[in-house]
Amino acid sequence: MDASYHRYILQFKQPSGTSRGVLTTKETWFISLKDGDNVGYGECGLLRGLSVDDRPDYESKLKWVCENIQLDRSELLDALKEFPSIQFGLETAFLSLNANDPFHVFSSKFVKGEDSIAINGLVWMGSADFMNKQITDKIASGFKCIKLKIGAIDFNKELDLINFIRKNFTANDIEIRVDANGAFSPDDALEKLKRLSDLNLHSIEQPIQPKQISEMAELCIKSPLPIALDEELIGIFDKSDKNILLEQVKPQYIILKPSLVGGFSKSNDWINCAEKLGINWWITSALESNVGLNAIAQWTYTLNNKMYQGLGTGALFTNNFDSPLNVKQGALYYEESQPWYFKL
């Protein structure tokens, strides 16, 4: 078996804002496997500034993987414990290699084009006018769940934006989620959560910065708005530590990004821990290209989770790879009439 890796820079169609800054490009890496006539592809969805494996030896670890690809698969993945995005890419590449079609990594009605995945419409941070236009466009496009990234502009203006939706649509019409990306301080978070809860929101992701365990646990007890852990899960490798975190914080939800937590098997560990504690969950992509998004979407469908998933990021880039993935009326479809074009 031969293995190689490639770096690729995705270009945003327009600058996309988060509480950590404005993004114009997204670096990603691919692992390619070849065994006789069979090929397999996996995307290592590194997020600079957020991924725990954003470290100087990242490329050298990819090189090591390719040089040691003959090792036992579980041995390889175990050696990548501190490199969750490479775990995700390698796990996907092996699934791809062993599939009849390298882009059919999980067989289901979804990949056959017989069913779809309900997803949220993502509203990026920016000026009030810019965010308002996104909201209007998402609703007009048929989305029944809107997710707003908040924390970059004046909080009262963000409340006004959410209130704009609620004046026209009830919680039964449009589900609203917000993602603070840790923008609130522990001192003012509870007050802001109370004000947000007046607008009948579904949940808030990561209201305060991660690694403030006691403060987050107290918020989860006192908040009238359900809290979802996101960044809090990054960098926790052992299943026992996952249990400890969830038992201590007791969030209402966790959000799983396979690129950030170590692929499908490690995501399943989180799901198992959460379900034992009565904690709900959903899956989100993390700005991968269509290659990574495709694998995440196909896996997500097999989980049979009926909540809205966060899988609508494929249209963000000017130089994404053409694929059968298509978003219509707030759902993600796999339409085989649209061919793949994947070339590095």
**Active-site residue numbers?**
149, 257
Q: Which one-letter amino acid corresponds to residue 301?
A: Y
Partners of 333 in the beta sheet? 326
Give the integer Cα–Cα distance in Å for 43 and 92: 7
Written as six digits, the tokens of 262 are 């170590």
Q: How far is CA 16 from CA 130, 131, 176, 200, 207, in A?
A: 11, 11, 20, 26, 20
Residue with tokens 């999980």: 106
Contact (CB, 8 A) for 213 and 245: yes
- The 3 state secondary structure assigned to 18-76 is ECCEEEEEEEEEEEEEEECCEEEEEEECCCCCCCCCCCCCHHHHHHHHHHCCCCCHHHH
Instruction: Dump the DSSP string for 222-251.
Output: H-SS-EEESGGGTT--SHHHHHHHHHHH--
Torsion of CA 314, 320, 324, 328, to 10 degrees: 30
Nearest Cα neighbor of 26 from 332, 285, 296, 231 is 285
Partners of 281 in the beta sheet? 254
